[in-house]
Amino acid sequence: MAQDQKPELPYNAKLVVRQPEVGLGSPSFVPSPQVRGMKSLADGTVYWVSSDNRQLLAYQGNRLAWKTDVVAACSTIIGQPKIRKVVLSSKTIFVTVGDRTFAEVNADTGKVSKSDVQRD
């Protein structure tokens, strides 16, 4: 009987929203107690923000594909050092950290390719 059970997911699927269909809004989410991640329409990857709001993780099914500490990868952070918003794009994930710091994360590898502070 135990063999018939599905493996336990490493994240809470109830806290994952589905990426909206193309044209139905921005594929983004704000981490909160009700939402911790988003499932990509393209390949089913779940992008998850850790409970401390520092790391972004990618899961393919119940397997961890990659994880990266986005907060640590940003050289300068204006405001509280935590992930505030995640926006999915085809090859790049745009992450807002703090009030005005933005990071670009490679969707395939999890590597932070760029971080910058928005100037007034």
Tell me, what CATH number does 29's domain have?
A: 2.40.10.480
Query: What pLDDT digit, counting tens, does each position of 25-82 carry?
Result: 678 999 999 999 999 988 999 999 999 999 999 999 999 999 999 999 998 888 899 9
The verdict on residue 63 lying in a domain is yes
The verdict on residue 1 lying in a domain is no
Which residues lie below 8 Å from residue 1, measured CB to CB, with a gap of 6+? none
Q: What is the pTM of this model?
A: 0.88
85 closest CA partner among 46, 108, 51, 53: 53
Q: Which domain covers residue 80, as residue numbers?
A: 7-117
Report which secondary-structure segment, H or E, holds 49: strand 46-49
Total tally of structural domains belonging to the chain: 1
